[in-house]
Chains A and B, each alone.
Chain A
């Protein structure tokens, strides 16, 4: 049997709820007599409606109110890093990143290179037969890495300690 359209289903539900105008009601009743698909869907909806009418108010245990009242003063707000403290940490991290970036852009770290020569370490000659390597470190590269790490920390603080608790509290407060 061909299914009825969504708009017909809407109309049948409104008919069941008694929300139709007199003219629409008559139109639905006429179609119910003439169109088998309408009649079949109406019967399904009417049957579901009668089952849904079984939904009744449910009641908690008899000592429910006493139990709530006895726990009222035991309530402790969930301990968490406060939102303002998180904002302060985030601000601190961002200020540190900002200052470092300005210093970096100003060329402060351009010439701060250093190298570690492993040959300078005092090791008995019999243990080392070939010359050891030396490593060059660029101050600029290290500062760039520190800035990236700080930005990652700032992102985590923003997500976990600020945005997540903020939306969770809003949801729990029911606003």
Chain B
């Protein structure tokens, strides 16, 4: 059992203080949403999947066995829920050619940054969901390799190798994309 400070809050929620769950949603929603967004690459679906995951987590709180951190357990539910959404809505997802890239009209000064984001999204779309999520969590620098492995369902002893391979693959994909871009100039 871990000494997660969330355990006492969970006990109170289970005892009937439902409103405390709002504090937990507030605390974890951004990381949860980021995970769903990396898998679904679509904002409305990511929002819906994340909400669904929080609701599922609430109704399964009793089954949370306290052996891992609450956050890791929750993000694993988010990961699985997003994967289920992706499978259900597969036909609605874009191919690589029209991968979702968000432009926010930030002016010409932001062009380079927007391009970098676009290239990153294109290269990331070439990876599978687990590698994409693992890589994102790794670069957010908030998770240990063990936590990343637990969230994405990778065996813990292979997480580092998987992430390294994903980084190498991404480097190759970026090189290809940049070469193609250069040819079209």
Contacts and interface: CB of A to CB of B under 8 A. Distances in A.
Interface stretch (B3-11, B93-101, B132-140): B132-140
A22 B167 CA distance: 24
Interface in A114-152: none
Interface in B81-124: 81, 84, 113, 116-117, 119-120, 123
A9 B163 CA distance: 13
Given A44-B171, A47-B174, A71-B55, A58 B30 contact: yes
Interface secondary structure of A, over-half rule: helix
Interface in A43-71: 44-45, 47-49, 51-61, 64-65, 67-69, 71
A93 interface: no
Contacts of B113: 54
B119 A171 contact: no
Most buried by B among A48, A172, A174: A174
A48 B171 contact: yes
Most buried by A among B29, B168, B175: B168
A52 B55 contact: no
Nearest to A6: B168
A52 B145 CA distance: 17
Nearest to B117: A54
20 contacts: A9-B164, A44-B172, A52-B120, A52-B135, A53-B139, A54-B116, A54-B120, A55-B135, A55-B136, A55-B140, A57-B31, A57-B34, A57-B140, A59-B30, A60-B46, A60-B47, A64-B29, A68-B25, A69-B22, A75-B59
Interface of B: 18-19, 21-22, 25-26, 29-31, 33-34, 37, 46-47, 50-51, 54-56, 58-60, 63, 65, 73, 76-77, 79-81, 84, 113, 116-117, 119-120, 123, 135-136, 139-140, 164, 167-168, 170-172, 174-175
